[in-house]
Amino acid sequence: MKINCHCHIFSLDCVPLDFRQRFFLDVKNPAHRTAHRLVRRMLPEHSSLEDWLEFIDIPISEVAQRLVVEMDQAGIDICTPLMMDMAYCKKYGGGTKPYEDQIEETAAAAEAINKKYNRTRMLPFIAADPHREDVATIVTEALEREVFKGVKVYPVMGFTPNDRRLYPIYEHCVHNSIPITTHCQNGGIPGLGDYYHLADPEHWASVLEDFPTLTLNLGHNDRTGSTWQAKIAQLINTYQNVYTDISYNYEMWFMPRRYFTNIKNMLSTPKVKDRLLYGTDWFMGRYFWTEESYLKWFLEYSKKIFWCRVEFTELDMRRLTEDNPKRFLGL
């Protein structure tokens, strides 16, 4: 049972209007729509970018359906779509779909998929931003509905995870064995460079001191911040329920040998080998990869490409895609 522990199914109206306008993604703007049509005409048939452009103007329910189609092609059984509350984004705040609607649409999409397949395919995580009034109540009530499996924290929106307004959520998660995934990458949404440092894993140290049994996934296992990966390893070695996932990092494409050698080494390192999770960050980089092509980097390309030559064993892949994700999710 392969599990993708890091992906997304939000629609573009969940993204701040200013961001959509700056990056020519405002589907209600006639000039933007015209530009998209012109780009499509110039692209080769069935190109990845053309596929990605189709995601710009579809609802969460349809995004979810497309993800499951790709999961089936890749042999992925379960995924954990991570919500993002972008209403209070320090750089591009405002103009998002009401968060209550986002919650309902995400829950409905996941429930519809699970019902269609008569088994669990999607376990969504609800986003928690301390700027949102009554965030603890909103998040805990959503978790109690049992549609949402966990919580997503995205500090790059303009806060640190040790914000005391999040503590009631952490307490609820500890008492109910609910996992948290946090963005832990010196990067992310374009144009938010002034806030990337807020995702530094060091900000979780004080949280874990207060909640030492918290189940936490430090997403992306970032190497671009010079000391971040060492800090992640230290937290894994100190706390029993700290994990990290290997969802999208640009190093995978530009320095594959270094990237995959690093993952191979982690899968041989005590404690760390049992805390490494598979994730793709779909559909954030959908114009680069599909669920199937991303997995093939680990199963085939990493050992076949002559400048990489890193081979993952069957045990490595079982740890990465099955055993560790099941433990993280309590399955």
The pTM for the full model equals: 0.94
Distance in angstroms (rounded) separating the CA atoms of residues 269 and 273 = 5
Strand order in the sheet with 216-219: 125-127, 150-153, 180-183, 216-219, 242-245, 276-277
Does residue 51 have a pLDDT over 80? no
User: In the structure encoding, which two tokens stand for residue 84, read together?
Assistant: 């993002």
State residue 283's pLDDT score.
Answer: 86
Residues belonging to the chain: 331
Distance in angstroms (rounded) separating the CA atoms of residues 173 and 216 = 10
**Domain spans in the chain, listed from the N-terminal domain onward:** 3-11+60-329
pLDDT (tens digit, 9 = 90+) per residue, 13-47? 999 989 888 877 777 777 766 766 776 677 676 66
Q: Which CATH architecture has domain 3-11+60-329?
A: Alpha-Beta Barrel (3.20)
Q: Looking at the chain, which runs of residues are DSSP E strands?
A: 3-7, 78-81, 125-127, 150-153, 180-183, 216-219, 242-245, 276-277
Indicate the DSSP class of residue 28.
Answer: T
60 contacts: CB under 8 Å, gap ≥ 6:
9, 10, 11, 14, 102, 105, 106, 109
Select from 255, 229, 226 the least CA-distant residue to 244: 229
Distance in angstroms (rounded) separating the CA atoms of residues 146 and 81 = 15
pLDDT (tens digit, 9 = 90+) per residue, 104-134? 999 999 999 999 999 999 999 999 999 999 9
State residue 278's pLDDT score.
Answer: 98
Taking the CA atoms of 322, 327, 329 and 331 in sequence, report the sign of the dihedral they define.
positive
